[in-house]
Amino acid sequence: MDLTRRLMEYLDQPGPAQQERMAGSWLARAGSDHPPLVLYGAGNLGRKVRAALAGSRFQVVAFCDNDPGKWDRPLDGLPVMAPVAAAERFGTQACFVVTIWRAEDEPPRFLDTEAALKAMGVSRVAHFTHLAWAHPEGLVPHYSLDLPLRVLAARREVLAALALFADDRSRDMFIRHALWRLTLEFDLLPAADPEEIYFPEGLIRPGSNDVLADAGGFDGDTCRRMLELWGAGARRIHAFEPDPASAWKFMAWREASPARERIQLHRVALGSSPGSVRFQGTGSLNATSVAGGGVEVPRRTLDEVLAEDPPDFIKMDIEGAEREALQGAATLLRRGPSLAICLYHVQDHLWSIPLLVRSLMPEHRLFLRYHGTDAWELALYATP
């Protein structure tokens, strides 16, 4: 079936039909409503799932993990097993739920992991997202995963955003990611685009006297790449990093850089208004603002910080705060910089951010590119 037609059919279905599909998505994978579960991935997500299921109808019997250093060591009261050992013991009884889902380290696609587990003798394999639809309490929202009923509620906005893109490739990408949010069919998601994230050739063009903004400066990785691509054409780089651990790494790198005089680090979070936020600093890529974060950091707007030094290019990868940060950059955006904005941290960013960008930059052309796997690393590019 044509994907556009399929998207329209799903968007036009009533809520009860979508709820039935949610339940069916889990049953098709698990074989019954609540089989024993083995969590494949004993990291942060696996532990989150284990905690969320405590006291529920779902019984977790073990973790398994590819890291030998975790084997035979109890975790949260459960054994951690090698995948082959777990398959031998539980492969015909339990549903193995894949709880490895992240952007870093280029993990295999879920479909590849599923095939590998079945080759070991596991009869039933599901993804964390399928389980989350069956038991959303404590599990959603989680990055681009949320309840599909929220996509139906945004039908008008979804279709309005689809009409914004400048090429067929972007429109096809949008439809596939919208359908994934409605179906969790991982085979809808294409292979990653070959272009480099934030700087796809032909869309982002370095200038000769540019001011650059790196929102989500981390340890300087993107800033280093900016210097490689722009060279002397980068007149100044403004980086924003609120995580204290990552900011220290950034400053250590900057001090050793020959270009340090052109690089300014702002140790603040970005938002739609000034203030402060609680921040969970980890020194890793998933550091984010949360209500119970261990440190309080100032929050500023791009319009406020860069009023005297407006950027020609803005990159944003700030763990779900992208829309609010763009709202706080409305004046700068009306000046017409190029943008590279991540869309995969929140379900509705797929359509709400393109609509916001178009409202502020009506003459820019909008493109989608997909640089990861399993709904990670989806980015919006806006070019004059």
pLDDT of residue 292: 59
Of 82-86, 158-162, 282-286, the poorest mean pLDDT is in 282-286
Q: Give Cα separations from 274 to 271, 297, 324, 375 (angstroms).
A: 7, 11, 11, 31
Q: What's the average model confidence in pLDDT over 7-25?
A: 90
Q: What is the pLDDT of residue 14?
A: 86
Q: Read off the pTM.
A: 0.94
224/219 Cα distance (integer angstroms) = 10
pLDDT of residue 18: 86
pLDDT at 289: 53
pLDDT confidence bin for 106, thresholds 50/70/90: low
Q: Tell me the mean pLDDT in the region 96-114.
A: 84
Dump pLDDT digits (tens) for 51-80. 999 999 999 999 999 999 999 999 999 999
Dump pLDDT digits (tens) for 23-46: 899 999 999 878 999 999 999 999
Phi, psi torsion values for 70, nearest 5 degrees: -95, -10
d(CA 217, CA 219): 6
Percent of the chain with pLDDT over 90: 86
Calculate the average pLDDT of the chain: 94
Under a CB-based contact definition with an 8 Å cutoff, are residues 375 and 206 in contact? no
Q: What are phi and psi of 299, to 5 degrees?
A: -115, 130
Q: Assess whether pLDDT exceeds 60 at residue 183.
A: yes
Q: How confident is the model at residue 281 (pLDDT cuts 50, 70, 90)?
A: low
**φ/ψ of residue 63, rounded to 5:** -100, 155
pLDDT at 61: 98
Contact (Cβ atoms closer than 8 angstroms) between residue 215 and residue 318: yes
Across 97-111, 114-128, 184-198, the highest mean pLDDT is recorded for 114-128
Going along the chain, which residue ranges are E strands? 37-40, 60-64, 80-81, 95-98, 124-127, 210-215, 234-240, 263-266, 269-270, 275-280, 288-289, 295-300, 313-316, 338-342, 365-370, 378-383
Predicted confidence band at 126 (pLDDT cuts at 50, 70, 90)?
Answer: very high
Q: What is the reported pLDDT for 205?
A: 95
pLDDT for the residue 194: 87
Could you give all domains of the chain from N- to C-terminal order, each with its CATH number? 31-140 (3.40.50.720), 160-383 (3.40.50.150)
